[in-house]
Amino acid sequence: MARKPPPGRARAGSKPEPQAPRTLASRADRHDLYERSVQDPEGDVRTLARLFKRLRERPALHLREDFCGTATLSAHWAASASRRTAVGVDLDAETLAWGRARHLAALDSRVTLLQRDVLEGGGRKVDIACALNFSYCVFKTREQLRRYFEVARSGLASDGIFVLDCFGGWGAFRPERERRKVDDFHYEWERAHFDPLTNEILCYIHFAFADGSRIDRAFVYDWRWWSVQELRELMLEAGFSYVHALWERTDDDGDGTGAYYEPRRVENQELWWTYVVAER
Ligand SMILES: C[S@@+](CC[C@H](N)C(=O)[O-])C[C@H]1O[C@@H](n2cnc3c(N)ncnc32)[C@H](O)[C@@H]1O
């Protein structure tokens, strides 16, 4: 019996088989969707530069983006001023290759991508090191996170700073799916499970399209949630000289203004996210 050709491939001399129409999900690229729905590299460049200038009264030139993924922040940092350089560090070869092709063609000499564990360190000393979008939450023990902070600190110039973002609020731990329209698709952030005994939290990113097709669990986050106070304590244990826990100013309607200050105490909110900045 003749073997059936693989789907979509016609036997020589035969008519091509009709192809099933391709869905929007099958034509989408999950890295592109992630960048468009999650990241704001222009805003991050402004915030990081402003934080450094405020503390050090000089402009920051050199950035290290740990857990850089597609390195869009590194690329935007280098593109924002001709003397700026960036080092992006990530474990994942496929993600780095995607980022290199998308973002780095014109900037190669000022952006270095290192495929390695952030615990290995390396690269030039930088003014600012950052781990954004809560990526450091992959470390689930105090020992691992303290070790990461020690490595991050050792890669800083003498007046360098290390910037993390963190999140919380009483709504941050209940199982929920938040859905938001982005351009021509929907982004979904699912908090699937939180364990109050271990602080482990499992989250997913899904994407949904107008034709009903979906990319479920495009990204999976198996994290430990760290409180601001735990981060502060571990940073000091790792040798940082001072830790600033920032909070966003709000306007009269309670909306965030993008300006950060350093209060001693704050009221909890349903959902919040903010920055923790450590001085070397
Ligand atoms: C949430 S993405 C962060 C992407 C981007 N930096 C952002 O701000 O949205 C997390 C990235 O961390 C990388 N990663 C996870 N563990 C790592 C480790 N120990 N060392 C280096 N990269 C790691 C993954 O490959 C993934 O690309």
CATH 3.40.50.150 residue ranges of the chain are 30-170+226-279
Tens of pLDDT, residue by residue, the chain (280 residues): 333 333 333 344 456 666 767 999 999 999 999 999 999 999 999 999 999 999 999 999 999 999 999 999 999 999 999 999 999 999 999 999 999 999 988 766 799 999 999 999 988 999 999 999 999 999 999 999 999 999 999 999 999 999 999 999 999 999 999 999 999 999 999 999 999 999 999 999 999 999 999 999 999 999 999 999 999 999 999 999 999 999 999 898 888 888 899 999 999 999 999 999 999 9
Render the burial of 2-13: b for 16+ CB within 10 Å, e for the rest. eeeeeeeeeeee
CA–CA separation, 87 vs 98, rounded Å? 16
Task: Kindly state if the Cβ of 117 falls inside 6 Å of ligand 1.
Answer: yes
Of 137, 181, 178, nearest in space to 271 by CA: 178
Question: pTM, whole model, 2 decimals?
Answer: 0.91
Of 164, 110, 109, nearest in space to 133 by CA: 164
* Residues linked to residue 85 through DSSP beta bridges, in sequence order: 62
Ligand 1 centroid–CA 60 distance in Å is 23
CATH superfamily, domain 30-170+226-279, is Vaccinia Virus protein VP39 (3.40.50.150)
Ligand 1 centroid–CA 203 distance in Å is 14
Long-range contacts of residues 139-146, Cβ cutoff 8 Å, at least 24 apart: 139/224, 140/198, 140/200, 140/223, 140/224, 141/224, 142/230, 142/234, 144/119, 145/226, 145/234, 146/234, 146/237, 146/238
CA–CA separation, 93 vs 70, rounded Å? 10
Residues whose CB is less than 8 angstroms from the CB of residue 164 and which lie 6 or more positions away in sequence, other chains included = 130, 131, 132, 136, 231, 275, 276, 277, 278
Task: Kindly state if the Cβ of 98 falls inside 6 Å of ligand 1.
Answer: no
Task: Kindly state if the Cβ of 30 falls inside 6 Å of ligand 1.
Answer: no
Task: Kindly state if the Cβ of 90 falls inside 6 Å of ligand 1.
Answer: yes
CA–CA separation, 267 vs 107, rounded Å? 43
Ligand 1 centroid–CA 238 distance in Å is 21
pLDDT at 116: 97
Of 164, 162, 156, 189, nearest in space to 271 by CA: 189
Asked if residue 240 lies in contact with residue 146, where contact means CB atoms within 8 angstroms, the answer is: no
Asked if residue 121 lies in contact with residue 88, where contact means CB atoms within 8 angstroms, the answer is: no
- Residue 93 burial (10 A CB sphere; 0-12, 13-18, 19+): exposed
Q: In what order do the strands lie in the sheet with 176-182?
A: 176-182, 185-195, 200-209, 214-224
